[in-house]
Amino acid sequence: MLVLQPIPLNYVFGVAQSGVLMPDREWVSVPAPEGWMAGWGKVYKELLDTPEEELRDLNVSRVPRELERALKVAEINPSALDILELASGDGSVACYLAKLGATVEALDALEIAVEVTRRRAKALGLEERLTARLRSIDGWDIPHGKYDVIVALQCLQYLFDRAIPRTKEILEAIKPGGFFVYSGNILPHFETDPPIRFITREELQEMLEGWTLHSFGEDEILLKKDDLRGYIWVVARKPIG
């Protein structure tokens, strides 16, 4: 069973859109409503006070572990990889990949998330292999064929009408023989305002035609009573030639 350990979005979406995210923190403009960003920011703010020993515990979900397995199958040394993670959140996945030996660039639109990622990387001694920066996942050009791996977990759906076009741009930015690591929601899911742009299995299959699918699946998780959510994930390798 897939366990994605999602942030409780009903909690996030319930935060009032006050017009100010956090008075002492910056954030960059994103399509998601400010209230949603404030909810995520509140989650990460709590992590700033987490003891270092807890930050060293990288309890990541199945998806990055599937990437690690795919690298072993493909006989690829992680230390040779340049990885980009979009919307890196609390930095757990970025640190997990850096701990494998990869060079990781972690981007997030919330300054407080960047701070948490840097603090986690420092606690793990990964500062030389991990760079965390304040940046949105859209609105800038990703050079074609720049990265060996691009990770986008639970984030592209919040680009709404830009979700599919940005996904295609991301795929172009992956080197031949590189990997796309994705997860997102699908139905069933509670209604949001504005509606989340779910990327369906059929859409992923169409965009990844010709790629090698190392892991591709769907799951439903009952997070609490009357809150059943669908998830989809994929780890796919781009054709070499």
Poorest-pLDDT segment among 8-17, 33-42, 47-56, 129-138:
8-17
- pLDDT at position 14 is 35
Local structure of 161: helix, strand or coil: helix
**Model pLDDT, residue 13:** 35
231: nearest Cα among 164, 181, 183: 183
**Residue 27: predicted pLDDT:** 63
**pTM for the full predicted model:** 0.89
Report the chain's C-alpha Rg in angstroms: 17
> Would you state the pLDDT for residue 26?
60
Compute the average pLDDT of residues 84-103: 98
DSSP-H helix ranges across 25-152: 34-47, 52-55, 62-73, 92-99, 111-123
* pLDDT 10s digits, 197-220: 999 999 999 999 999 999 999 999
CB atoms near residue 34 (< 10 Å): 18
Q: Encode pLDDT of 114-170 as tens digits.
A: 999 999 999 999 999 999 999 999 999 999 999 999 999 999 999 999 999 999 999
In CATH, the architecture of 9-237 is 3-Layer(aba) Sandwich (3.40)
Question: What is the arithmetic mean of pLDDT over 42-71?
Answer: 93
Phi, psi of 199 (to 5 degrees): -95, 115
Hey, what are 25's tokens? 């923190």
The percent of residues above 70 in pLDDT, for the chain, comes to 89
